[in-house]
Amino acid sequence: MRGGRHVAAVSSATFDLAAGECLALIGESGCGKSVLASALLGLLPGNAQTAGTATVDGVELLAAGERVLARTVRGRRVGLVPQSPAAHLTPVRTVRAHLEETVRELTATPRREVRAAAVTAAERAAFPASHLDRYPHELSGGLAQRAATALALIGDAPLLLADEPTTGLDRDLVDHTADELRRHADDGRALLMITHDLVAAERIADRVAVMYAGRIVEIADAGAFFGEPGPRHPYARGLLAALPERDFTPVPGQPPELGDLPPGCAFAARCAAATDRCGDRPEFTDGLACHHPATGAAPAATTRREATAGQGSNRA
């Protein structure tokens, strides 16, 4: 509820995610990506309502109470790299204290080895050992991001939700973080990466899900999405075309308010292919919700982009 009215922040979001797989969830800000992650972990505001099913490792998340979520889900079955990492760190505890406590809670590490395990966890996320005794307010945005990633990786949870995990990082650290997340999946776990960074998504994703106005409008194999034949939904094509390495042409217009969605296709007002048929809401069929799917090759990346993507790629 917002201002006394019902807002469907996410609707009809259906997908599966296998062990060993990375699904990249992409879309503009405000389309519902982070709301989806929060719903899976029971972190929505008290006036929010959820419906449907979401099962991880035998636990139905949307029906679970706070006791189950706190004791058996968060960190253990589902790890989280939060969108705002500094807000998830206790301000009166150092990064080292956060890491050591998490190691003790989520692993069977002997007490005498906890300190070393915490340092190892920091190294996985490229968090410098020299900053382990700093408090959250002493960290830059990039360092807070790396601390949150280190904490999320400790439990080796069957599912890892990484919400904008590369925010505030330079390109080398983006690649390091993306590769470490990919390693989490390669070890037999699932990774849902919510991101605006399509370069990082291309680097490690197996599949791509595109969200617009609270709804998943396309799910595609990452190789076909970023390569040939490219995305089928006009909005997804627009996201790729906006990249500097491609057309560098932004998607025209602005996304609609989630509380004031049109009755038909929510993207129609911004879509060059829209017709009267788009006044009806398209069904999601064969991985696509669109009356006028795009055909032909999408805008290609430049040679410079292709060279960057090829360095150190860990895609399975």
Q: Which domains does the chain have, with CATH numbers?
A: 22-211 (3.40.50.300), 229-310 (no CATH)
Tokens 């919400």, residue located: 163
Closest CA to 298 of 258, 242, 259: 242
Residue 3: its pLDDT value, please?
59
Token pair listed for 235: 């909005």
Residues pairing with 26 in the sheet = 210
List the pLDDT tens digit at each of the 316 positions of the chain.
Answer: 555 678 889 998 999 999 999 999 999 999 999 999 999 999 999 999 999 999 999 999 999 999 999 999 999 999 999 999 988 899 999 999 999 999 999 999 999 999 999 999 999 999 999 999 999 999 999 999 999 999 999 999 999 999 999 998 999 999 999 999 999 999 999 999 999 999 999 999 999 999 999 999 999 999 999 999 999 999 999 999 999 999 999 999 999 999 899 999 999 999 999 999 999 999 999 999 999 999 877 767 653 333 333 333 333 3
Residue 306: its pLDDT value, please?
38
How big is the chain, counted in residues?
316
Residue 302: its pLDDT value, please?
56
Token pair listed for 54: 């979401």
Q: Contact at 8 Å (CB) between 46 and 217?
A: no
Residue 309: its pLDDT value, please?
35
Residue 298: its pLDDT value, please?
74
Cα dihedral 200/293/245/247 (nearest 10) = -150
N- to C-terminal Cα separation, the chain? 41
Q: What string of H, E and C letters represents the secondary structure of the chain?
A: CECCECCCCCCCCCCCCCCCCEEEEECCCCCCHHHHHHHHCCCCCCCCCCCCCCEECCEECCCCCHHHHHHHHECCCEEEECCCHHHHCCCCCCHHHHHHHHHHHHCCCCHHHHHHHHHHHHHHCCCCHHHCCCCHHHCCHHHHHHHHHHHHHHCCCCEEEEECCCCCCCHHHHHHHHHHHHHHHHCCCEEEEECCCHHHHHHHCCEEEEEECCEEEEEEEHHHHHCCCCCCCHHHHHHHHCCCCCCCCCCCCCCCCHHHCCCCCCCHHHCCCCCHHHHCCCCCECCECCCCCCCCCCCCCCHHHHHHHHCCCCCC
The pairs formed by 41-48 with CB atoms below 8 angstroms and a separation of 24 or more are 41/69, 41/73, 41/74, 41/78, 41/80, 41/161, 42/66, 42/69, 42/73, 47/1, 48/1, 48/9
Residue 2: its pLDDT value, please?
58
What is d(CA 247, CA 233) in angstroms, rounded to the nearest whole number?
A: 17
Token pair listed for 310: 């090829």
Give residue 212's Cα distance to chain centre: 14
Residue 265: its pLDDT value, please?
97
Token pair listed for 192: 């849902």
